[in-house]
Amino acid sequence: MTEQVAVDNLIIWEFDFAMTTFYEVDTDLITPLLPKQISPMEIVPGVSLLNITAFNFPEGGLGYLPNFQELIASIVVTPDLSRGVPKFAMYIFSLGSTCQEHLDHSTDYYKLPSYKKLEYGKINRADNAIEFGDTDGPILTMNNCSTNIGDFLGHERYFQAFVLQDDNLFIADLYLKAALFEHQDQGDAGIINNHPFLKGLELFDEERVPYLQMLLEPGTRGKQFYYKPEKYG
Amino acid sequence: MSEQKSKEKKPSYTEFTLDMFSRSSGKNHAEIKQFNQWREDVISADKYTFETPHLTPQTPEIVVRRIHGDEHRLFNFSSYNYLGYANHPEVINAAKDALDKFGLGATGSPLLNGTFDIHKQLEHALTEFFGQEGYGISLFSSGYGANIGVVSSYIHKGDYVVLDHSSHASLIDGAVMSQGTLKLFRHNDAEFLERILKRIAKDNRRILVCVEGVYSTDGDYGNLKDIVTVTKKYGASILVDEAHSLLVAGASGQGAVEKFDVLGDVDLLIGTFSKSFGGVGGCLYAKQELINYMNYYARSRMFSCALDPAVTGGILKALELATGPDGYAKRKRIVENADHLRSLLINKVDIGTSQSWVIPIIFGDERKSIPLADYLMRKGYDFSIMMFPAVKKNKSIIRAFVTSEHTKEQLEGCAEALIDASKEYDFAL
Ligand SMILES: Cc1ncc(COP(=O)(O)O)c(C=O)c1O
């Protein structure tokens, strides 16, 4: 992966599919997943945001790795504004990938909580729909629930990613340069199963309703500038 | 962007929405520094339109002074002085009389020594106005105070507050103070509400469903009929906040509850005096025994000074006018004005689901908000600009409040300015 490293502590990931959905969930449900030092960023007290993101990294998008799919589960948390003002800060609690080498690298370099190798990550680009699963069964389906796709805006977006490894909390800066359509239309966005990928999180029906979705413009590529995490606090 | 330099690049003030500065991890309160930096950036760019002092009353034409000292004469579409009572001569005179009679402030909590005769007159007049036997009024010094006090003394730890997704902050804050569990249902979606009620009703705890008569960002009516039906089916109570509809909606001005004929089913009705009454303050209308209880246990009432007596005198006069021919004429005019403005805007810009005197014009991308607010002010118009999270992502709005006092020419000028802006800022349909 070394050819992707632009500076010492940065890897640039190129992707050709990205879809992310934020779901409204009970804060009580997600609190057990969070380390003590960080708090959920609730949309109203008692209601937090669970985020599920899927990427497709094409062959060559990340060094010598083949084409593969990635699935990330995180919780929106209070950012650290002393580093800059992000669009969102996430605490990542589960990472799945169809590529074992990518998972190993993510654990090692990014301290990410690699879940395990996923059996499949099906991406339907025409409909903006995905399906992920592993040997424990299907994890989720997710689809765009906006009936009128609007503008794909290409401005840079800054995020923060918190991760926990061996009881140590880390933070990483992450910039996304991609043409994204963001919407908050509330329709049917697919099914999330109570699967071990979600680390025991069990959602009620009405919590599978999306709060916000973002989609990459079809036929384009986006770049993620993902810095190496630093120990936090 | 050079690929290596990503981290050093400082984004422009247009990249931020206010939620982004609301909180920060860590001990150093970085949110205060970052917020002030953003505010300074907007001011130095001479785009700052917030906190602009008014040099005139809230009439359809106003003069404001911006932060760098420049004065602007504007057409006012950002005040909720819906019926023009904030500056009505009879209302002003009534307030002056009350001022002379009772002095500037109430200087006491309503329960102990802050209640004046004029408060009792207002309670009585409002109770008569709604006209149900066995009901009464509890007065609060703001609408915000009414909501937080009422919700937090009606609901307690272990109970539920179920709110429409577009609920006002005061209802949310009341729910938080109550320490009950807060649930949100999709805006105006009675089926979604039912799914929640069905699940939580099993806990056999109190449930309070909170909705609004007219929503202050979408400008649509609360889906009161269906929501009341579902609420009653599960044995829950219902609160209707008529902040933007009292005196305006319904033939006699009782609000959306009158329009949808559900007044008798509503457990708690909240009114504010800061909108159509043109004053400040709030009230709860409910069964008298509940009113008696709230007068003692709503903490925002008990531990806060009573409503200002002069303002109370003005509110009483506004109520008198609103229930007479003046009110009927003004209600007719505000509806005609809103319909007229909508008819000028429809198919030219996106006005969402507006059905009332609150008209949102959706311009989408929140990054346009600050420049657009400045542009409109320089064109001679005062609107409120609202962005995420007050409204949905990429559904930022210019909010126009129509009043009964706007003239046809002012409404036409307003539509023209908005349509020009839609071309300039790329949100024309
Ligand atoms: C729906 C709603 N409820 C309550 C309030 C608070 O009222 P007040 O401004 O009188 O405190 C407002 C104010 O804008 C409102 O829009």
Q: How many A from CA of B144 to the centre of ligand 1?
A: 6
Q: Do A183 and B392 touch (CB under 8 A)?
A: yes
Residue A155 pLDDT level (bands cut at 50, 70, 90): confident
CATH number of the domain where residue A31 is located: 2.40.400.10
Q: Do B182 and A45 touch (CB under 8 A)?
A: yes
Closest atom, ligand 1, to C-alpha of B272: 10
Q: Do B9 and A156 touch (CB under 8 A)?
A: yes
pLDDT of residue B16: 87
- Half-sphere exposure of A32 toward its Cβ, with a 13 Å CA cutoff? 7
Q: Vertex B335, ends B334 and B336: CA angle to 5°?
A: 90
A 77-136: CB under 8 A from B: 77-82, 85-87, 89
Name the percent of chain A lying above pLDDT 90: 67
Domain boundaries, position A220: 10-231
Distance of CA A212 to the CA centre of its chain: 13
Residue B406 pLDDT level (bands cut at 50, 70, 90): very high
Partners of residue A77 in chain B, C-beta under 8 Å: 25
| CATH T-level topology, domain B90-322 | Aspartate Aminotransferase; domain 2 (3.40.640)
| B282 Cβ inside 6 Å of ligand 1 | yes
Judged against a pLDDT cut of 60, whether residue A3 lies above it is answered with no
Q: Is residue A5 part of a domain?
A: no
Question: Which residues make Cβ contacts (< 8 Å) with residue B70, sequence separation at least 6?
Answer: none
The two structure tokens encoding residue B281:
């303050």
Cα→Cα distances B49→A177, B41, B72, B384, Å: 31, 13, 11, 10
Task: Return the domain boundaries, chain B.
Answer: 2-26+45-78+328-424, 90-322
| Mean model confidence pLDDT for chain A | 89
A188 touches chain B (CB under 8 A): no
Residue (of A199, A174, A171) closest to A52 by Cα position: A199
Q: Do A186 and B172 touch (CB under 8 A)?
A: no
Ligand 1, atom 12, lies closest to the CA of: B243
Q: Do B20 and A173 touch (CB under 8 A)?
A: no
Encoded amino acid at B83, one letter: L
Mean pLDDT, residues B392-401? 91
Number of inter-chain CB pairs under 8 A, A vs B: 106
> Among A44, A81, A82, whose Cβ lies nearest the Cβ of B184?
A44
**B120 to chain A, minimum CA–CA distance in Å?**
37
Handedness of CA A195, A222, B7, B373 (dihedral sign): negative
Judged against a pLDDT cut of 70, whether residue B216 lies above it is answered with yes
Mean pLDDT, residues B368-378? 96
The two structure tokens encoding residue B296:
């003692």
**Contact of B332 with B141, CB cutoff 8 Å:** no
Judged against a pLDDT cut of 50, whether residue B1 lies above it is answered with no
A37 touches chain B (CB under 8 A): yes
Class of domain B2-26+45-78+328-424: alpha beta
Judged against a pLDDT cut of 90, whether residue B365 lies above it is answered with no
> B204: exposed, middle or buried (C-beta count within 10 Å: 0-12, 13-18, 19+)?
exposed
Mean pLDDT, residues B141-165? 97
> Among A12, A39, A82, whose Cβ lies nearest the Cβ of B30?
A82
The two structure tokens encoding residue B148:
């937080």
Q: pLDDT tens, B69-98?
A: 999 999 999 999 999 999 999 999 999 999
pLDDT of residue B386: 92
Q: pLDDT tens, B218-245?
A: 999 999 999 999 999 999 999 999 999 9
C-alpha to C-alpha distance for B365 and B392, rounded to whole angstroms = 10
Q: Is residue A30 part of a domain?
A: yes
Judged against a pLDDT cut of 50, whether residue A2 lies above it is answered with no
Q: pLDDT tens, A177-232?
A: 999 998 888 788 888 888 999 998 887 665 567 889 999 999 999 999 999 999 99
**Contact of B323 with B334, CB cutoff 8 Å:** no
Q: Is residue A113 part of a domain?
A: yes
**Contact of B233 with B211, CB cutoff 8 Å:** no
Q: Do A89 and B192 touch (CB under 8 A)?
A: no
Q: pLDDT tens, B278-332?
A: 999 999 999 999 999 999 999 999 999 999 999 999 999 999 999 999 999 999 9
| B243 Cβ inside 6 Å of ligand 1 | yes
Judged against a pLDDT cut of 70, whether residue B11 lies above it is answered with no
Partners of residue A209 in chain B, C-beta under 8 Å: 186, 192
User: Under DSSP, is residue B172 helix (H, G, I), strand (E, B) or coil?
Assistant: helix
| B147 Cβ inside 6 Å of ligand 1 | yes
User: Under DSSP, is residue B427 helix (H, G, I), strand (E, B) or coil?
Assistant: coil
pLDDT of residue A156: 87
| B170 Cβ inside 6 Å of ligand 1 | yes
Residue A68 pLDDT level (bands cut at 50, 70, 90): very high
Q: Do B389 and A43 touch (CB under 8 A)?
A: yes
CA closest to B23 among chain A residues: A78
Place of tokens 């000074």: B305
| Mean model confidence pLDDT for chain B | 95
Q: How many A from CA of A9 to the centre of ligand 1?
A: 49
Q: How many A from CA of B274 to the centre of ligand 1?
A: 8
C-alpha to C-alpha distance for A75 and A32, rounded to whole angstroms = 11
| B143 Cβ inside 6 Å of ligand 1 | yes
User: Under DSSP, is residue A91 helix (H, G, I), strand (E, B) or coil?
Assistant: strand
**Contact of A224 with A25, CB cutoff 8 Å:** no
Judged against a pLDDT cut of 60, whether residue A82 lies above it is answered with yes
Q: Do B30 and A81 touch (CB under 8 A)?
A: yes
| Residue of B374 and A149 predicted with greater confidence | B374
C-alpha to C-alpha distance for A209 and A125, rounded to whole angstroms = 22
When scoring A9, A27, A43, A82 by the number of chain B Cβ atoms within 10 A, the one with the most, hence best to mutate, is A82
Residue (of B407, B413, B406) closest to B58 by Cα position: B406
Residue B27 pLDDT level (bands cut at 50, 70, 90): confident
Give bridge partners of residue B212 from the DSSP assignment.
B241
Mean pLDDT, residues A24-43? 92
Judged against a pLDDT cut of 80, whether residue A7 lies above it is answered with no
pTM of full prediction above 0.95: no
Q: Is residue A198 part of a domain?
A: yes
C-alpha to C-alpha distance for B193 and A19, rounded to whole angstroms = 28
Q: pLDDT tens, B155-172?
A: 999 999 999 999 999 999
> Among B182, B195, B365, whose Cβ lies nearest the Cβ of A44?
B182
A150 touches chain B (CB under 8 A): yes
Residue B192 pLDDT level (bands cut at 50, 70, 90): very high
Encoded amino acid at A38, one letter: I
How many distinct structural domains can be found in chain A? 1
